[in-house]
Amino acid sequence: MNTQVHRGIQVLPRQPHIFISYFRVGRLLYYSLVLFILESWVYGIQLEKAWRGGSTVWILFWFSFFLFSFLHIYLVIMDGWSRFQNYKRAKDQFYEHGFEPRIAKMYLRSKCQRNAALEAAAELGIRDDLEEYFDQQGVKWYHYVPYFIWQDPLIFLKRDFWDRTFLEKNYAPKYEYKQLCFEQYSEVELITSRG
C-alpha cells in the first residue's frame, strides 16, 4: 500500500470495519433489498396459488410482479457493489487531496453516489465540508431520483448507464486506512508516554 506524504488528510479519525462501511454506503439500498425479498416471497406464494388454480391470466399477473421484485434483488445488490467502489475511490481521492469541489462534483449525480462520498468523507473527518458543498449545489434530502434521469429519461437504454450503475469495476484502495490509523495513534501514544 502507498504511504507517501501528500497534501490531503493528515490526521485520520478511527476507522470502522470494512463491513460497517459497506453497509453504511448502501444502507438505503439494503433496506429496499429487504423489501424486494419480502415482495418476491409474497408474489411467489400468489404465483404458486395461481399455478395450482390454472388461471393463465392470474399466472401471468403474479409472474410479472414476482419477476419485477426478483430482478430488483439482483439490481440492488449490484448497485450496492458499485456504490462501494465509488466509496473506495472517493476515500482515496479525498485522502490524497483533502476536500476538493472538483472531486465532490463527481459524486453529485445520484443519492447513492452522494451517500458513498459522504461516508468516505465522514471516515476522513471532512463530511461537513462535503455536505456544505452539496447544499451549495442545491441538493435536498429528498432528491432520490438521480439527476441524470431528469436530463435523459431514456438513459436506461444506454450501456453507460448500466456500466456505471450496476457494473462498476472493482477499485482497489491505494491505502490501508486501518493500518495508517493504527500507526498514527501508536505515534501519539509513544510521544505522550515520553512526555
Question: Is residue 105 predicted with pLDDT exceeding 90?
Answer: yes
What is the pTM for the complete model shown? 0.85
Range 99-125 burial, b when 16+ CB lie within 10 A, else e: beeebbeebbbbbbbbbbbbbbbbbbe
Q: At residue 192, does pLDDT exceed 70?
A: no
Taking the C-alpha atoms of residue 112 and residue 80, their distance in angstroms, rounded to an integer, is: 8
Write out pLDDT tens, residues 124-170.
Answer: 999 999 999 999 999 988 887 777 667 777 777 878 777 778 889 99
Give pLDDT, residue 8. Answer: 78
Whole-number mean pLDDT of the chain?
A: 88
Contact 56, 85 (CB under 8 A): no
pLDDT higher than 70, residue 195 = no
For residues 53 and 12, what is the distance between their CA atoms, to the nearest angstrom?
62
Placement of cell 429496499 in the chain: 32
Give me the pLDDT at residue 194, please. 59
Domain spans, the chain = 18-194
Pick from 121, 79, 88, 125: nearest CA to 104: 121
